Amino acid sequence: MQREDEKTSEGDFINFLKSNDVLSMESAFRILAAIRSSPLPFDVVVTELGLMTEASLADWLRIYLGVVQMGIPAPFSLAPGLENFDLDFARARAALPIGLENDALIVAFANPLDKGLIEILRFYFQREIAVRVFPRKEILAVIDAAADISETQTADDGVTSEQAAFDDDIDRLKDIALEAPIINFVAKMAQSAFDAEVTDIHIEPFSDRVQIRYRRDGVLSRSDTVQKSMLPGIVTRIKILSGLNIVERRLPQDGRMRLSLRGTEIDFRVSIVPSMHGETIVLRLLRNLNVSTDLSELGFDDEARHKIFQLAQASNGMVVVTGPTGSGKTTTLYSLVSLLNKEGVKIFTIEDPVEYQLEGITQLQVNSAIALDFARALRSVLRQDPDIILVGEIRDKETAQIAIQAALTGHLVLTTLHTNTAAGAFTRLRDMGIEEYLIASTIRGVVAQRLVRLLCSSCKEKNTPDCPTCRGTHYSGRTVIYEVLEASGPLSTLLESGAAETEIVEQAVAEGMTTMAACASRLIEMGATSKLEVSRVLNVEAVR
Ligand SMILES: [Zn+2]
């Protein structure tokens, strides 16, 4: 079940056997193929293939891992303090605690290459685990004797006991995730993130620890380090809360969970990806959007707000918002959609993923697993008689073509493009292979934007070292810097002729556009943000 984590050491071990002439090349391949396709434990696969006996496999595992051979004390009984250890779990995983060595717990394993199992036991017992290797049969016999179950009863269980083992794994993982320290940890982490106005929580496992980092105002900062042994519990807890498969540890999983924080229901978008040292998790806090649906609250001034709203009043054509990831494009589009959301208007959104649920709007999530991409989703939405369509992002020519077709045939299309500047939207579409006259006749306007952090008003004047408002970062809150390009009149003639980006910008400025850089300069002059912050945002986050 932790096949991916183990693969290296299993593979290494097989190579080790090959180089010691224990296995032929062909046998090694057979084992590798079998462990990839079988849910059975490594040692069972090897012995079932008839390539090694249990005893010889155990011997070679000891040599490979450099662990000493010892006997299981007979008659066997669980050490004081461990009496509650579940022998069903021990049987299912062929792992049995057999003694103490200094502070470490000595555990007999049939498959000592199962790092996930060792991790679970370390967490469960809160002790280091000293690995010893025994043939599976030997471990099971001791467990059966200890549990006072006759050997004959389990000897021919075969496949059914594997299924039972699988079910037991799930139960065990659930138990760990239901333990108070794990529940408290996850709740506290979410709570403190919520209180500190964090947007994302990153849970990152390394070889010896788990690091928790928080993204606030667009910048990641390191916060806590927790013991590596907490990871299985944390991962399982989050998987349970978001309805994900707790035994799947090889594939990425996405989900959503809802927690009640200070009396408010907060949704989290959950992304879990297997990494070198265990599953890494990113939680995005999806706050109530009410706080930011207003374009002025996002930081657009009255003039810009008016212009943007005018652009979106049209009954057809396309309005584009551009910027890199994390520049607030989606929020701007959501604000527009909320403004346009009236009775008598049918609005569809196609998103990847749906970030906020909007009342009265039909939202569609693209899903690569079922080949529902932007282009295909857009085609089906067009058959649903929409007035306004929000296309989360145009990434390819096919989507661009359908979106433009929709914009030409009486629909208003709102979308985003991953470009640095407003003028860049035209050249990006041209690069995708869309013809100039189509671009000129569909795009009504482009908003380019970035988010810059605002200087903390509590410590801006006096240099307070431990300012509680900004936690010493000197920044608190963010605002947009932007440029709004209206594609009409002389500019659209210029666009039809396939003008270069610089020409487009020149003409737009001549027609009164304030560039993003000018917008930023104004904020610096007002003392709202710093030069350093603006250059960080305009240069470091450059798209190309
Ligand atoms: Zn401050």
Cα(462) to centroid of ligand 1, in Å?
9
Residues 6+ apart with CB under 8 A from 492: 440, 441
Q: How far apart are CA 185 and CA 237, in angstroms?
A: 10
Cα(464) to centroid of ligand 1, in Å?
7
Q: 348: which strand partners? A: 362, 389
Report how far apart, in Å, the C-alpha atoms of 429 and of each of 99, 236, 287, 434 are: 68, 44, 33, 6
Cα(477) to centroid of ligand 1, in Å?
11
Cα(195) to centroid of ligand 1, in Å?
16
Cα(463) to centroid of ligand 1, in Å?
8
**pLDDT (0 to 100) of residue 484:** 97
Q: Taking a C-beta distance cutoff of 8 angstroms, is the pair 334, 427 a contact? A: no
Residue in this structure with the two tokens 């939207």, named with its chain if needed: 425
3-state helix, strand, coil in the chain (%, to 5): 45, 25, 35
Cα(476) to centroid of ligand 1, in Å?
7
**pLDDT (0 to 100) of residue 443:** 96
Q: How far apart are CA 9 and CA 300, in angstroms?
A: 55
Q: How far apart are CA 394 and CA 400, in angstroms?
A: 6
**pLDDT (0 to 100) of residue 153:** 39
Query: Cβ-count burial of 267 within 10 angstroms (0-12 exposed, 13-18 middle, 19+ buried)?
Result: middle
Distinct helix (H) and strand (E) counts, the chain? 22, 16
Q: Taking a C-beta distance cutoff of 8 angstroms, is the pair 212, 218 a contact? A: no
Amino acid at 300: F
Cα(527) to centroid of ligand 1, in Å?
14
Residues 6+ apart with CB under 8 A from 539: none
Cα(222) to centroid of ligand 1, in Å?
18
Low-confidence ranges of the chain (pLDDT < 50): 1-7, 149-159, 290-291, 540-544
Cα(470) to centroid of ligand 1, in Å?
4
**pLDDT (0 to 100) of residue 134:** 94
Residue-wise DSSP of 346-384: -EEEEESS--S--TT-EEEE-BGGGTB-HHHHHHHHHTT
Q: Which two tokens stand for residue 20?
A: 């010691």
User: What is the edge-to-edge ordering of all strands in the sheet holding 362-365?
Assistant: 362-365, 347-351, 388-391, 412-417, 317-322, 443-455, 475-486
Residue in this structure with the two tokens 């470490």, named with its chain if needed: 104
Instruction: Give residue-wise pLDDT tens across range 271-315.
Output: 988 887 889 999 998 865 544 567 888 899 999 999 999 999 999
Cα(287) to centroid of ligand 1, in Å?
23
Cα(92) to centroid of ligand 1, in Å?
55
User: What is the edge-to-edge ordering of all strands in the sheet holding 219-227?
Assistant: 219-227, 209-216, 200-205, 278-286, 264-275, 253-261
Cα(465) to centroid of ligand 1, in Å?
8
Distance in angstroms between the alpha carbons of the first and the last residue of the chain: 41
Look at phi and psi of residue 24 and say left if phi exceeds 0, alpha if psi is from -120 to 50, else beta: beta
Cα(376) to centroid of ligand 1, in Å?
48
Report how far apart, in Å, the C-alpha atoms of 136 and of each of 10, 55, 108, 467 are: 17, 9, 9, 60
Q: How far apart are CA 273 and CA 64, in angstroms?
A: 30
Cα(200) to centroid of ligand 1, in Å?
21
Cα(454) to centroid of ligand 1, in Å?
10
Give the count of alpha carbons within 13 A of 523, CB side only.
Answer: 29
Cα(219) to centroid of ligand 1, in Å?
16
Q: Taking a C-beta distance cutoff of 8 angstroms, is the pair 468, 456 a contact? A: no
